[in-house]
Amino acid sequence: MSKKPAHLRLALTAALASAALATLAHAAPTDPAAAKIDSLDNALIETMKAGKSAGAEGRYKLMTPAVESAFDLPAMLRVAVGPDWTKIAPADQQALAAAYRRYAIANYAKNFNGYSGQKFIIAPEVQVRGADKLVKTQLTGGGTDVALAYRMRDNGDGWKVVDVFYNGSISQLATQRSDFASTLSNGGAKALVTKLNAQSDKLLK
């Protein structure tokens, strides 16, 4: 059997080396908190690739399992509502939890609606903040440059996101708490349910 020409052997070697490097570059993080964000990032890329052809509702369905797996939405809602959470009737708490879940997923369905070569890069170092961990990731490419930091906590069911910081400083929960406060003060939990559902409806149009 004749050997491959030298230039073909070199090309094959280069291709295999390139594939090996790509595999290493996209290897899942070993830290369990970072691995959870890696899974979320992968779901976001797939949702972006689905794009407008899937529609907002289609992207919502794609993101639902990833958000539910990555986020501790009940804990986040309690912080966003604040001390008055314990004063809310159980039925209203359940309605709020459902509305908050829908609102959280709808935001991802709205904001990650198209793909033009973007990729996520997770920082190799996971920062420890007491009992929590901070996982940083950056969305780059296609004219996009967004830095996100996820505060993670092990709630007994694995590491879950308990807050998101945009561009290194803007806390999602602090923003929501400020936004929810006036609605809760003026109309209570039912008013906040109505507001969240209305915002979700708008996001999913």
- Domains in the chain: ranges and CATH: 33-203 (3.10.450.710)
Q: Residue 6: which pLDDT band, with cuts at 50, 70 and 90?
A: low
Asked if residue 5 has pLDDT above 70, the reply is: no
d(CA 100, CA 192): 9
**pLDDT tens digit sequence for 108-127:** 999 999 999 999 999 999 99
- What confidence score (pLDDT) does residue 18 get? 43
Q: Residue 3: which pLDDT band, with cuts at 50, 70 and 90?
A: low
**Closest listed residue to residue 166, CA positions, set 148, 153, 182, 154:** 148
Contact 105, 201 (CB under 8 A): no
**pLDDT tens digit sequence for 22-49:** 443 455 688 999 999 999 999 999 999 9
Asked if residue 21 has pLDDT above 50, the reply is: no
Contact 205, 109 (CB under 8 A): no
**Closest listed residue to residue 111, CA positions, set 151, 149, 59, 61:** 59
Least confident interval from 19-23, 51-55, 131-135, 181-185: 19-23
Who contacts 109 (Cβ-Cβ below 8 Å, separation ≥6)?
47, 56, 57, 59, 60, 62, 63, 203, 204
Asked if residue 180 has pLDDT above 70, the reply is: yes
